[in-house]
Every structure is written in structure tokens, then in C-alpha cells.
Structure 1
């Protein structure tokens, strides 16, 4: 069942298309990621989903609700942690949690939520005195306090140290286990690769790719990298004739780096055996989500 439906979404500012025909669906219980370069239209897309911006064209539904015309009902099923958020500087953490809990008919108990996010020691601290990471953790708690069916998290771990970031990842995984659907905007590739069931890559306001993390990596131009130093020089013609080869680089110290697929790896091994050449310091590594992301967005960067 799709809990978020986005069809041909368009939004322009000053005649410039920021979101240009983006379409995707998010299934119930899924962690769905949105990746893209800065200025690609990611935040505008999710703000339209949240009902914070009115699309110029297209159709959006959140659990069947129109977030613009049915904004009040949408707020009861959707929680959001925005990229830039503020609360009144003199409010304490406890007061902010109690205030937000009062907005919902069936809120979560904020105490275990505060404990899980490391906010319990700061319950009496005013918002204006919190560090950047502590503010971010508070915003995550406020997004979850209404027991939403869907939660939107925009750059949720920005400003968190590595330990707090991994603790937050575990919290998001726990949330999904309870059946909450998560729409996650991030620029941390490790975060997206660990958490997301599927990822939409948005580039220049358009959907560049939509797949699982593993699927995106398989689509990378050089999904496998082979690196070694041959005991004797190899003929350039033999290297360039390798199947599924994407690139070949010969370094000044004699080391060779090839990008290709598993087929390329097998062909390299066959070539070495046939030419009686030994491969010293042989390494075979898989591409990462970073590699796939750079491949998908390199045309815009160029």
C-alpha cells in the first residue's frame, strides 16, 4: 500500500523550475530516501509533501490526503523534522516536549523518547542554550511525538557526532519496525545505504534514478574496481580488450587500476594465467553508493 504518492510534481521560483516533473510512491513501513546535490530540489519536494509549499502542478497524497487542502488532517498522520527549525529560545526541553505532545490526540510518551535521544539530562535546559546537535535531537523527538504514520526527516543527523548519529540510525530502524513510514532526506551516503529500502536521486529538479541502494550501486559505471601490480608489464591491447571494462589506469609505479564488473574480474584472472604474470597486492573492491551518486549526477556537475 502506498502511503505517499507524488505524481508529476512541479514547482518554480522566479521562472526557474526547482522541481520539474518528479514522481514516486512510498510504501507503508518503508524507509524511503531522497538524495541529490545541493539545490537539486530535495527540500522543496518534501515541503510540498508536508503541505508547507503549494505545488504549481502535480498531485500529492499522504495516506490518501491532500496535504494542501486537507492540511489539518495531514498533520495528524505526518510528523516532520525540518532542515531549518526553531522553537522559542526560553522554552526548556521539557516544556517543548509537553507543548508538542498537547497538539496531538494520542501522543507518544515523550520520556522514553527523550531518554533514547539523550535528552533526559537536558530537560531543564532552555532551547537557546542547547548545542546544535542537542537541538537536532530535540527536533527529531518533536517529529515523532505525535505517533505519526509517516515521518519526514530532512538532514536528520546534521550536526551530530558519530556516536549520536549511529544511535539515531538505530532509533529510525526501531521506528520502522513499529510500522512507521520514513521519508528521509540526507546527504550522508553511508546513512542512506544503511537505512533506506529505496532511494530517489533528484538532480536539477528531476528524478535521475529510483532503486534500492544495491540496485543503484549495480548501475554504477564501474561497479567493481580491480587494482594490482603485475610482475611483468601487460600489453595495453589486452587490457583494453577486457570485457565490461569501464576504465583502465596505469600508474607511474607500475600499478594498474581497472573499473568494470565481475566479468572483468574473471577476465583479468584469465589474462594473468594466460600470460604467466603474477598480480602483486591484488585488491578487488565493490563500488559504493558514493560512486553511484557521482555517476548519476556527474553530467550536471560537468
Structure 2
């Protein structure tokens, strides 16, 4: 099985929702059931890439034939069949060559007293990336021994970090203490996700590896919840029932996922076609600038 590791860098806040209200949030984001971490479902991301490559001659083979296309081909084929062979014109939608995983959170941007914000991650997130990458036969961007060891209130930073003063870090309302070095992880991820030296520097200066417990807390409390309204045109007041609360993953969030081949090698659409050179839009609220993301495929 051949696979590719991909990264998603949110340039604006992203809302990929579940359609079901949770507590006081009318439109929450999608989350993993077991961990509660934000995710982007594979179906949402696959549809975006399919649309991006819609003008190519290999899109249906790579992503699968759409039901509408199947129906059109069936109708056209049926016109040329004998009556007793009409049933053979009906086709089933065919699966594509490429299989997509859900995109899991890699780094969640969090407000920091020093350095403005931090790219937070945790050992659990890093170990899961490592395990799946190795399981798919890929060379991960870092090794097991690069993952820092920290306590519940500890944090690992890089040598050039701007997130602390005298070893103390303030993330949201949490006071954390510097305990380990995250330079190897920061340099590996910066090299994989970012291309320019300024982008790499911004990332390495702000990476913070926190404990699994702290990251779980931040993933629940550090997302953005905004109030949305719909106004009445004539009097410019809120229409009845047109106030709702919507959750988004903040800009600068980083996700990762995998793409694999699901058919015998001789039938593959090669991954060499998989180049996304322009930002894509993922999720809802496209008309108000949500979901603009950069895709990096390794």
C-alpha cells in the first residue's frame, strides 16, 4: 500500500460542523468521540479536493464516479441496448482509487501572555501521528525519542521560544512550567509544513508541547464561539429566532491526515497528480471568509 501524509494549515477560522447543538453552542465543530479533539471528517476534505481537481481527466478514477454521472451514463447506454438487456445498463457508483482518513488536530493555536499565541500539541497527538505513519509504511517527520516527557503542568519549548519568562508560560488561564526541550519536534514539523524561513521561525518560536490533560482542556475551551445574527432588511434589527452561536477552529490551526491507494497497483491514479498549489475552502460559511486553508502533501 502506498500512502501520503498531508497537512492542513488554517489561514482563517474553520467551521466543519455536526449539525447538532451541544450545550449553548447551536453549531459546534466536529470532534472525535473518544478524545474530544477537533477533526475534519474525511468526507468533507475529500469533496474539497475532488472539486479542486474537477477539470482533470482522471478525477472520477481517483475520487470515484458520482451518482449523477452514473445515472447519465446508464441512460445513454440504455438507448442502444435490446429490451431484454436493459437491466445491464444500470451501474453502481464506483469507488475511487484514493482513500482518505479524517484530518486530526496536530497543533491548536492558543492565546499566550508572552509571544501572543502558541501552537500547542501534546505527546498523545504526536504519538498517534507517528503510529499511523509507520503503520502505512511512511517515514514520519520525527522519531519517538524526539517526543518530550513532561508532567501535567509542564511544557516543552524550543531554545528560541518567545512564550516564557524565566521558564513560566501562561496559556489562556493556565500557568505552566518549562520542563523539556521541543526543538527537534519543532524543526521537523516546521520543515514539513512551512516553506519560507519566516514561517518556520514563527512556528518554532511558538511551539508548545503540553501534557495530554492540558491539551484536552484547551481543545474544549480554546476554540472560538461567535454569535451570528440575521437582520431584517427594512429596520435592521435581528429577525425573530435569527440569533445563533457557532463554533470554529481558530486560524493557524494545523491538522494532519493520510491518503492511500485502495486498488491493485496497476490500476492506480498515481499520487504525482496530487499537487494543491492554491488555498482551498473547507466547511461552512464560505461567504464570510471561513475555511480558507493551505494543503501540504508529503
Relative contact order: is structure 1 or structure 2 higher (C-alpha 8 Å, sep ≥ 6)? 2
> The TM-score by the shorter chain falls in which range?
under 0.3
Normalising by the residue count of structure 2, what TM-score does the alignment of the two structures yield? 0.25
